[in-house]
Amino acid sequence: MGPPELDDDDDGSEGGENSSLWSKLLVSGGALLGVAAAYNAYARRGVDRIPNLIGGEEGGWSWRGRRISFTKRGEGPALLLIHGIHAAAWSFEWRHNVDYLARYHTVYTIDLLGFGRSDRPPIRYTSRTYISLISDFVAQVVGGSCILVANSLSAAYAIILGARDPHRFPSLVLIQPTGLTRLNDAAGVGGDAGRMVIDTPVVGTAAFNALVSRRSLRHFLEEAYADNTLVTDELVDTSYDVSHQRGARHAPAAFIAGHLNIDVRRALRRLHQPALLFWGEEAQIAPVEEIRGFRSLKPDFDVHILSPAGDLPQDERPDDFNVILSTWLNRRLLSSAPMHDTLPGMPEALPLTPPAS
């Protein structure tokens, strides 16, 4: 059957209007994509691959076909420093801690997959991704027992790993961990929709670039630090560069969707090794009152509240953090070391004086 004939007084204006409407939509849609693409190009202007800004021996480890960037320095029992998770996250947050800690320890820092100087593939990131990554890194790169020093959501992953394998992870240092009242729920439909939008090549990149503009990053940093004078132009520029690397949107999109969340209640109840808990008294993102939940499930936490400090106490109060952590680690090592009545090679008449605790 052929198309219906038009009446003499029917000039097809309705069809013409529809065709015109679709043409306008296509043109405007193309224009919007063009604007988004131009904005993305502008946002990445002057952004190069970020260098190693914390020093140490640089390493690249292949994990499931992806390159994981890490650094190593010092000698002694191993520490692995694991950064928190947000749009501009990477191991740069440990820049004021690594040198001090490396005086008596082998200190590793790692850029988690999707962050920092590591690869940022468009995969489906989950909490399991990072728990497996950390576990495999310690097994294959560190090659022995290792003390985890982790921040925020990564500290929740450290709790899970510590509960699973206390021999490999004999002590934990947790900085404002999540998993009880925050970032503990499973992902919802709304979060999945947000992730899909940000994961789209042009429009999603533009949306993410708007989230990590210099203005937005400065606002985030001023919320994270109690002392806003620490939020310098240089710090904002560094955060901007790291959050505008190619593929930078994929892992944060999973975070926004809730795919990186994990509940730590059961793991905390099974956590028997020594654990040190740090908090910033003026923290806004993770209020200090959250300590109560962690101590109720593990009453033997060693707790230190730093002030004035916000949500990055290891960076805002590095001198206090470094001394407290080093002292705590030395006590753990001394308490676990075999004790002798006399020093090797000395007369029995000269007893060894036990070190002060």
* Predicted local distance difference test score (pLDDT) of residue 184: 85
Q: What is the dihedral of CA 278, 280, 284, 285, to 10 degrees?
A: -30
Q: Quick one: CATH architecture of 61-185+260-335?
A: 3-Layer(aba) Sandwich (3.40)
* Predicted local distance difference test score (pLDDT) of residue 19: 56
Q: Which amino acid belongs to residue 233?
A: D
* Predicted local distance difference test score (pLDDT) of residue 49: 83
- pTM for this entry: 0.81
Which sign, positive or negative, has the C-alpha torsion 156, 261, 265, 312? Answer: positive
Among 332, 282, 281, 322, which residue's Cα sits nearest to residue 302?
A: 332
> Measured between alpha carbons, how far is 142 from 165 in angstroms, rounded to an integer?
15
Domain map (residue ranges) of the chain: 61-185+260-335
> Measured between alpha carbons, how far is 169 from 78 in angstroms, rounded to an integer?
10
Rounded to a whole number of angstroms, the distance between the first and last alpha carbons of the chain is 96
State pLDDT tens for residues 301-328: 999 999 999 999 999 999 999 999 999 9
* Predicted local distance difference test score (pLDDT) of residue 334: 79
Residues 6+ apart with CB under 8 A from 100: 318, 322, 326
* Predicted local distance difference test score (pLDDT) of residue 20: 58
Buried b (16+ CB within 10 A) or exposed e, 249-284: bbbbbbbbbbbbbbbbeebbeebeebbbbbbbebbe
> Measured between alpha carbons, how far is 121 from 186 in angstroms, rounded to an integer?
23
> Measured between alpha carbons, how far is 187 from 190 in angstroms, rounded to an integer?
8
State pLDDT tens for residues 147-156: 999 999 999 9
Regions of the chain where pLDDT drops below 50:
1-14, 21-46, 189, 202, 338-357
